[in-house]
Chain A
Amino acid sequence: AQSVTQLGSHVSVSEGALVLLRCNYSSSVPPYLFWYVQYPNQGLQLLLKYTSAATLVKGINDFEAEFKKSETSFHLTKPSAHMSDAAEYFCAVSPTGTASKLTFGTGTRLQVTL
């Protein structure tokens, strides 16, 4: 069985500061890992995905995440927050492929302040 834990339901950062959203996973097989973002009144949009090709994954809007097997983590980072990054972020895992059923974390709402 797979599970995802997102530490911190709400994170607040200043504009220009580092964004760090935490995600730990549990999987009985090598996982596929994802970060999705939901902007207000929109659907879920894929930010990036890990498929075992490279441990450091770069996504859209300067987001990146690093897969650390020893820590079972897949934390999302962005060097400099922008007001437009305010949204809810979801980490997800799939055991079987990038186009398969996903198990989500509870989400982290990112607030960006001036």
Chain B
Amino acid sequence: EAGVTQFPSHSVIEKGQTVTLRCDPISGHDNLYWYRRVMGKEIKFLLHFVKESKQDESGMPNNRFLAERTGGTYSTLKVQPAELEDSGVYFCASSQEDRGRSSSFFGQGTRLTVV
């Protein structure tokens, strides 16, 4: 079974440009999460989808970030326009609630560098 897949693995863009990150969750997982780790700091929650609906977007830094999950499958996270402080590793995770037996599975992350 394929795990959580993220594209691209690395992205270097200039300040002011737009970048779109993609996450393909494990098939059948209704929950999809985005997290971000800024260098040297903790991994922070950004938002949570249940199927195609945004359940919790309390961690989104500002309105330059837009997340979508088309048809409840893959998700994209767009940053427009990118700023220097947006640099970091963006992780995606998916899970399927199963009465305490399941856990979140993480992708390898996308390392975003804004220069």
Contact = CB atoms under 8 A, between A and B. Distances in A.
A interface, over-half SS: loop
Contacts, number: 64
A42 B108 CA distance: 5
Interface residues on B, range: 20 to 34
A101 B33 contact: yes
A45 interface: yes
B58 to A, nearest CB: 9
Contact of B45 (A99, A103, A105): A103
A97 B106 CA distance: 16
Interface string B29-41: 0010101000011
Interface of B is mostly: loop
Interface string B69-112: 00000000000000000000001010111101111111111000
A106 B42 CA distance: 4
B104 A105 contact: no
B91 A102 contact: no
Interface of B: 3-4, 31, 33, 35, 40-45, 48, 56, 91, 93, 95-98, 100-109
Interface of A: 4, 34, 36, 41-46, 49, 51, 90, 92, 97-107
